[in-house]
Structure 1
């Protein structure tokens, strides 16, 4: 007798649902399973209802949303199953029943690449990827509204609630805080602000009692705080000073903090306010002197600097014990780099497993030495994101020290327009990627820059090296190609020795035809080539998702924007996926831009385009020299060069 899902014990089906639940916002696999049959739907109740999102346009409309969810939960006795609740005021577009982006169009990227979060919390509780300014209309007045009472009663029915995510502007109603305290769940605030600490500069006031209850609550677990020193009307904002005390221990269980400095506008009043300076803060109840000693050091697990590190990293290390940090995200600079290296040598990063270092611009020997010392002396990482100058020596230390434990690696190169760079960044050539594959066998996600070389044996060897990563399931490759000579004084050999110096190449008619043909053939990435790259990496491995981004770089000698616009017709970016049946699909990214570039090509061959006589016909000539016209739609008669079959 054949075994069917319906014949399985309910407990077995519930365990299957636990396995299928990705705990993301969409949870496609779980929902698909629940629709298989009535018994699967019943078995999925615990997982389906473990996290819900309440979208409340305004406090006055709270009851209608709650009534809808009460009806859903009552059908499955589901109030007891809810473990995570998110309250937002986001507009949701349910067109076509799929996940949507902000522009209302389906997001083809939603199930592929997952950005590693620098908050060591459950995925559902992460701050949004693109933080936006909070909704000021729901400020202090809204937090006092009686309209929140129904929501407080609803929350108190959720006996198993573990996390409440408040992503509803800056307000935190006292009724909601009381409900949280009655359940003892963790509170995550994605838009934290203390309104009563925005005060006239010459008239200090004590903090509001409800806000003080919030920031000292033992249930406050994670916050995203916007840092603004001054406000309109000659007011000052002491939220930063308050958060410093919260980190240092006033908020007893605060574990995750993201600091977002806000760039203020320009006005004469604001300039005058800043010029006057900020009066020293006198504490929450105006009883402190400026030299009042801070409480004992905090124990943050996540610290994210979304911008500069105000006062330097050493100052923040005096507020919270870095040995408790799991996740750290900050821009790198010379002074903080030296501090981090010294702290690593002293063993101050005992539990760090997720790290982002951004804006690494220090190419000095001392700066790179600090980077090397830091990575040599911290415990092996699981997730690492780097952007900026990383030389080969430092990268070699990274893969040797952390390669065995790394699950996610992202490397973004420095800007290529920095022609005075003395320290060449690590280049992900065949040799480097082969070494990466040898030393990082557990990688599940990787994002690296690669240089296109017309699909030759060197480039194809990189893709073959990546397929040696047995657990790789998601990859993001930024395929770059420099448009223009690497040498400021001349073109590469083979293009033409009699061609004029590169410094004079500003007009289309001056571009060597051979060089143009080389540009076109290298930059062209069609669906066939994209699938070929995907299949080469996925062959024999576990790759399910690949994102190819084409990054065109232009040297300083080429200024003709029309040329770049035309090249956009060939330089196509792709998302490639393999489903459970082994079927591969390719979806072009930003196809609207591609269509506009195609219109530009059509215009170049029109009578009007030719009559303009801007010299751009040389592009068409080079195009047709590579891909002879076969149809009336000559601009579609092109294909990418295939990958090489040669082994390197």
Structure 2
């Protein structure tokens, strides 16, 4: 039976199924006939991305998207709008603008919030040290576009600029079910001098308590460079305690200003007096919030234990500049997480062995205190006690395990064949495995592939493969040596497929998908790395393997590490 001979409703259902995992195949199907083009069209633009740098660019981009969506008759098919960047404070938009998109190192795409450094880079620290003036009169073109997206389900707002009133009005009046995710949540009126406390701005309070808000990421900066105290962290806890009725995802990121970024203890400051000075915040044990997803860097005094009663996902973050808070681990070990299913621990990176030992012990105790988990993601400096606690206390329930060690370093922190063998023996139900490995072209690398083949239930494998070139490997001082080095070791489509087939090994294997992210690094001088990477996805089909690129770093985006 020819696919195109099926009823349009059936073809539409097939497109829905394919689009969930392999959108490029839907694009190819759309080219088969006019009928399939019309049916698959709604999957061509499920997301609209806008990068804000100026008023002129915003108007131009909105006009372009409107023209595309109108031509394709797909206004109603857009489900997700993502807005990044910053609106300049003046009409003169010709200057360079620093944006979240430019400063964020997305790194591994397994889960953008698994590791703090993968989503919220340390280099963004300076962005939030000042409070930008709201530019509410600049969003007319975007308001027009949003009003036409009647099928919109989610808006992700990654702008430094405050979410504008005109868009909030549309959500409240016309799109009450659309979820708002603010990934740079900062209310300017909650930043003020210690001797000049003030009420929250009326619109900011309306925004903070809006039923549209579903997720917020709050940069915790207790005192910015201007000497203003920042109480957005305390406000976020109050919102989670029920003031924001539909807030389910809360991410609290400690981003201190340059004056005291090395201290884990915030400076002395008066306690927060609440959103309104004559209406103190509630301090009883009542909890009416519905948090499902929580991310923390540091312990918060006002985090009530009842706030965790409905929590499904917990993330604890360190950074490349600062290890995970030992106090946070110890405090949370005494808490109860009755329905927790997924946990991510990013231990950060430290060279201090005593700190590593203490974190390993505290991390092991914390993991042991949790109910059986379905998903565990460990990153940063991972050591034995944390790993063993994961296997001992969550082996039967575990379905997903991620072990992402520090890039550029192969030591006892690296995933070994022995770790994989232990995981395979202890966790018979593992369906998704993600870990870092180093390309050595030696027996240890071969043994890792053999160990992977022993996972009987594994359906998805994600590999972050590191290949490091060092100065002694250079054959000459030719300036073209670097490009040759990267060209020789870059993963291509054929090699990605070979890795999949080597891992598959037998027809009875349950493995259906391999995502391989390959980092090629050249150590040109001590502490200085140049890097390129490619990402490929291999999907197992009945008659073979489909291999697709899933992104790469362009030449102009290559970075020094």
TM-score (norm 2): 0.71
Deviation at 1:407, TM superposition (A): 4.4
What pairs up with 1:292-331 in 2 under 5 angstroms?
A: 296=287, 298-305=289-296, 308-311=297-300, 315-318=302-305, 320-331=307-318
Take 2:129 and 2:199, find their aligned partners in 1: how far apart are those partners?
22
* Equivalent residue, structure 1, for 2:77: 81
Q: Report the secondary structure of 2:317's partner residue.
A: strand
Kindly provide the CA deviation profile for residues 616-648 of structure 1, in whole angstroms up to 9, marking residues without a partner as x. Answer: xxxxxxxxxxxxxxxxxxxxxxxxxxxxxxxxx
* Equivalent residue, structure 2, for 1:70: 66
Kindly provide the CA deviation profile for residues 309-338 of structure 1, in whole angstroms up to 9, marking residues without a partner as x. Answer: 1447xx524472344232323344544334
* Equivalent residue, structure 2, for 1:223: 216
CA contact (8 A) 1:21 1:29 kept: yes
The reply on whether 1:433 has 2:420 as its aligned counterpart is: yes
Q: Report the secondary structure of 1:324's partner residue.
A: coil
CA contact (8 A) 2:490 2:518 kept: no
Deviation at 1:43, TM superposition (A): 0.5
Residue 59 and residue 257 in structure 1: after superposition, are their counterparts in 2 closer, same or farther (change >3 A)? farther
CA contact (8 A) 2:4 2:11 kept: no
Kindly provide the CA deviation profile for residues 268-294 of structure 1, in whole angstroms up to 9, marking residues without a partner as x. Answer: xx9xxx999534433222214699658
* Equivalent residue, structure 2, for 1:164: 155
Take 2:171 and 2:463, find their aligned partners in 1: how far apart are those partners?
40
Residue 416 and residue 31 in structure 1: after superposition, are their counterparts in 2 closer, same or farther (change >3 A)? closer
Take 2:337 and 2:257, find their aligned partners in 1: how far apart are those partners?
35
Deviation at 1:398, TM superposition (A): 2.1
What pairs up with 1:214-293 in 2 under 5 angstroms?
A: 214-266=207-259, 277-288=268-279
Take 2:133 and 2:119, find their aligned partners in 1: how far apart are those partners?
26
Residue 370 and residue 55 in structure 1: after superposition, are their counterparts in 2 closer, same or farther (change >3 A)? closer
Take 1:442 and 1:168, find their aligned partners in 2: how far apart are those partners?
38
Aligned length: 495
* Equivalent residue, structure 1, for 2:180: 187
Deviation at 1:7, TM superposition (A): 1.9
Take 1:191 and 1:586, find their aligned partners in 2: how far apart are those partners?
30
Q: Report the secondary structure of 1:544's partner residue.
A: strand
What is the RMSD of the two structures over their aligned residues, measured on CA atoms? 4.8
Deviation at 1:576, TM superposition (A): 6.2
* Equivalent residue, structure 2, for 1:36: 32
Deviation at 1:444, TM superposition (A): 2.7
Q: Report the secondary structure of 1:462's partner residue.
A: helix
Residue 39 and residue 401 in structure 1: after superposition, are their counterparts in 2 closer, same or farther (change >3 A)? farther
Take 1:550 and 1:56, find their aligned partners in 2: how far apart are those partners?
32
Q: Report the secondary structure of 1:231's partner residue.
A: coil
Equivalent of 2:515 in 545, 549, 566: 545
Kindly provide the CA deviation profile for residues 68-104 of structure 1, in whole angstroms up to 9, marking residues without a partner as x. Answer: 333333345433333322233489xxxxxxxxxx89x
TM-score (norm 1): 0.63
Larger radius of gyration: 1
* Equivalent residue, structure 1, for 2:390: 398
* Equivalent residue, structure 1, for 2:380: 387
Residue 89 and residue 474 in structure 1: after superposition, are their counterparts in 2 closer, same or farther (change >3 A)? same
* Equivalent residue, structure 2, for 1:198: 191
The reply on whether 1:337 has 2:336 as its aligned counterpart is: no
Take 1:365 and 1:55, find their aligned partners in 2: how far apart are those partners?
43
Kindly provide the CA deviation profile for residues 592-615 of structure 1, in whole angstroms up to 9, marking residues without a partner as x. Answer: 9xxxxxxxxxxxxxxxxxxxxxxx
CA contact (8 A) 1:127 1:224 kept: no
Take 1:137 and 1:32, find their aligned partners in 2: how far apart are those partners?
47
Equivalent of 1:358 in 347, 352, 364: 347
Take 1:365 and 1:192, find their aligned partners in 2: how far apart are those partners?
33
The reply on whether 1:455 has 2:425 as its aligned counterpart is: no
Deviation at 1:359, TM superposition (A): 3.7
Deviation at 1:204, TM superposition (A): 2.5
Consecutive unaligned residues in structure 2, runs of 5 or more: 88-100, 319-323, 473-487, 556-561
Take 1:416 and 1:155, find their aligned partners in 2: how far apart are those partners?
44
* Equivalent residue, structure 2, for 1:411: 403
CA contact (8 A) 2:459 2:512 kept: yes
Consecutive unaligned residues in structure 1, runs of 5 or more: 92-101, 120-125, 419-423, 484-507, 509-523, 554-560, 593-648
* Equivalent residue, structure 1, for 2:454: 468
Take 2:414 and 2:191, find their aligned partners in 1: how far apart are those partners?
49
